């Protein structure tokens, strides 16, 4: 059975009060529509058709991909009209309708729904609501068979008392869809072509409407304003936190943890409060992350420790290595096993060998630093002349005195030393001391100036 998926994403989203189209507003760092597309992909459809209208150009630009077919709905005349715009491109046996502003539907729920749809049957996802205001209501006959959906604005008081709401998510036999959509009318309270009217037509044609119920309301919630967006964000983060705890991670406060991407975790990982993980992150067994850290596209090997308030991007910490508090590791920062980077140290494109240390207040860029080498406080690599970048290579067991300026390109051999306060502009051979500073003079009997 082949599958086409249609995602409705043409609506304006006035209540967002935003220049950004509603479906591009992010949940966990990814647009709502991006989440829906990712979920759709997991169902291996023939094609994903995204119906766009408001902000069409921007949506197209942000989400263009080989498997996405954009369909323009120039005027928003209703959900039925929206699906109709995609009709000429629909070829599959089954068509699944999703919504660009309903980002947290589980793929398992959709897979169950799809099993319900065949030539004689529709699959309709419904939800039982404490307050169904605004939702279309599911109308069943005495035998419990679905007969129709009535929109809130068109419903009688008795119908409004029904708590079973339409999620809008629907799986239909592709062959019949064109006929039904062609027969829709807009004579209703909103003057719109309702997709929901397809249900009564299907029943009249002798098809059965089989329902699936969403596991929880959150699966089918849309975001119409920034308050709902924030609620979805929290729900998403709670799900992410629970999943990590189930995998063996201790979160000191699951309510103060944010995942904006994907993370692979080992066991006995400890994450303190206010940690943000972004992009692709790998955290091996026994890693500890202190409070207020941002870790993006990074790998933390077994037993590594990230202390409070550190910011890592594109970095790797080797086994048992540690950084922080207040460390800044930028792309290409790589710490070997048991290497140590302390407070107010910035690394960019810099590799520290096993057991190497930069304890305090340093900038190390475009540098290769050998095993056990010690970088004194205040050391910087002068790697940039305003136009070009140059490398600094330090051998093993090098000792860089505090407040040294290492002017690249520069190579120091194994066991070399620099005196504190040196500006080092020439290579230093192995086991050699370099002193690059003015010699101190003591002036005896010198008088301090006094006020007139």
Least separation in angstroms between residue 125's CB and ligand UD1 is 10
Angle CA 393–395–396, to nearest 5: 145
Q: Residues in contact with ligand UD1, total (CB under 6 A)?
A: 27
Letters for 53-92 (x = contact with ligand UD1 by CB under 6 A, - = none) are --------------------x--xxxx-xx----------
Per CB under 6 A, 219 contacts ligand UD1: no
Q: Report in angstroms how near the CB of residue 63 gets to ligand UD1 at its nearest.
A: 15
Any residues with CB less than 8 A from the CB of 383 and at least 6 apart, and which? 365, 366, 367, 389, 390, 391, 392, 408
Nearest CA to 412 out of 434, 438, 390 is that of 434
Contact predicate 167/125, CB 8 Å: yes
Spatial separation of the C-alpha atoms in residues 276 and 279, rounded to whole Å: 10
**SS3 for 342-396, per residue?**
EEEEEEEEEEECCCCEEEEEEEEEEEEECCCCEECCCCEEECECCCCECCEEECC
135 is in an annotated binding site: no
Nearer to ligand UD1, 82 or 202 (CB): 82
List the one residue from 34, 45, 55, 168 that touches ligand UD1 (CB under 6 A): 168
136 is in an annotated binding site: yes
Which lies closer to ligand UD1 via its Cβ, residue 126 or residue 349? Answer: 126
Residue 125 or 259 having the CB closest to ligand UD1:
125
Give me the helix-helix angle, 79-86 and 174-182, nearest 10°. Answer: 130
Length of the chain: 452
CB 340 within 8 A of CB 305: no
Q: Which stretch binds ligand UD1 (CB under 6 A): 27-35, 159-167, 171-179, 202-210?
A: 159-167
Instruction: Choose the stretch contacting ligand UD1; rule: CB under 6 A; options: 116-124, 161-169, 332-340, 372-380.
Output: 161-169
Q: What's the min distance (Å) between Cβ of 144 and ligand UD1?
A: 19
Q: Supply the DSSP string of 138-165, one letter for each residue.
A: EEE-TTS-EEEEE-GGG--HHHHT--EE
Instruction: Round to whole Å and give the CA distance between 17 and 130.
Output: 28
> What are φ and ψ of residue 423, in 5° steps?
-105, 110
Q: Draw the binding track, 10-49, toward ligand UD1 (x: CB under 6 A; -: no contact).
A: xx--------------------------------------
Report the number of secondary-structure helices (H) and strands (E) in the chain. 8, 35
CA distance 51 to 48: 10
Does residue 309 have a known ligand-binding role?
A: no
CB of 334 vs ligand UD1, minimal distance in Å: 45
Q: Which residues are annotated as catalytic?
A: 360
Check binding of 126 to ligand UD1 (CB under 6 A). no
Annotated binding site for UDP-N-acetyl-alpha-D-glucosamine: 8-11, 22, 73, 78-79, 99-101, 136, 151, 166, 224, 330, 348, 363, 374
What is the contact surface with ligand UD1 in residues (CB under 6 A)? 8-11, 51, 73, 76-79, 81-82, 99-101, 135-136, 149, 151, 165-168, 194-196, 222
Per the annotation, binding residues for acetyl-CoA are 377, 383-384, 402, 420, 437
């Amino acid at each position: 059975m082949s599958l086409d998926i249609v995602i409705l994403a043409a609506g304006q989203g006035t209540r967002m009060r935003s220049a950004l189209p509603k479906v591009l507003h992010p949940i966990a760092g990814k647009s709502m529509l991006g989440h829906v597309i990712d979920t759709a992909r997991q169902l291996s459809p023939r094609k994903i058709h995204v119906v766009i209208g408001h902000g069409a150009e921007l949506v197209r630009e942000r989400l263009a991909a080989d498997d996405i077919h954009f369909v323009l709905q120039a005027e928003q005349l209703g959900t039925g009209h929206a699906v109709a715009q995609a009709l000429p491109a629909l070829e599959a046996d089954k068509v699944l309708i999703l919504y660009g502003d309903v980002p947290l539907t589980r793929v398992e729920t959709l897979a169950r729904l799809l099993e319900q749809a065949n030539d004689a049957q529709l699959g309709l996802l419904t939800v039982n609501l404490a307050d169904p205001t605004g939702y279309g209501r599911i109308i069943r006959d005495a035998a419990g068979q679905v007969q129709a959906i009535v929109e809130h604005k068109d419903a009688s008081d008795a119908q409004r008392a029904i708590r079973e709401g339409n999620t809008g998510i629907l799986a239909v036999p592709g062959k019949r869809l064109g006929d039904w959509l062609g027969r829709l009318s807009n004579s209703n309270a909103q003057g719109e072509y309702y997709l929901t009217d397809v249900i009564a037509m299907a029943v009249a044609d002798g098809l059965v409407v089989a329902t699936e119920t969403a596991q929880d309301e959150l699966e089918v919630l849309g975001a119409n304003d920034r308050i709902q967006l924030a609620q979805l964000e929290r729900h998403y983060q709670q799900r992410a936190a629970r999943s990590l705890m189930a995998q063996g991670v201790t979160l000191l406060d699951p309510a103060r943890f944010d995942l904006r991407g994907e993370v692979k975790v080992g066991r006995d990982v400890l994450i303190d409060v206010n940690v943000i993980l972004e992009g692709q992150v790998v955290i091996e067994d026994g890693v500890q992350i202190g409070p207020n850290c941002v870790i993006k596209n990074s790998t933390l090997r077994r037993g590594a420790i990230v202390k409070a308030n550190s910011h890592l991007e594109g970095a790797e910490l080797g086994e048992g290595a540690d950084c922080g508090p207040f460390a800044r590791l930028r792309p290409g920062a790589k710490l070997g096993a048991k290497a140590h980077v302390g407070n107010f140290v910035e690394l960019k494109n810099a590799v520290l060998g096993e057991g190497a240390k930069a304890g305090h207040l340093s900038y190390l860029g475009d540098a290769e630093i050998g095993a056990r080498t010690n970088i004194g406080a205040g050391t910087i690599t002068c790697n940039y002349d305003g136009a070009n970048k140059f490398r600094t290579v330090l051998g093993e067991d090098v000792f860089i005195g505090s407040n040294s300026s290492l002017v690249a390109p520069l190579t120091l051999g194994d066991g070399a030393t620099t005196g504190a306060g040196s500006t080092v502009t020439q290579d230093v051979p192995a086991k050699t001391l370099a002193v690059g500073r003015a010699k101190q003079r003591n002036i005896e009997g010198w008088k301090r100036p006094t006020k007139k």
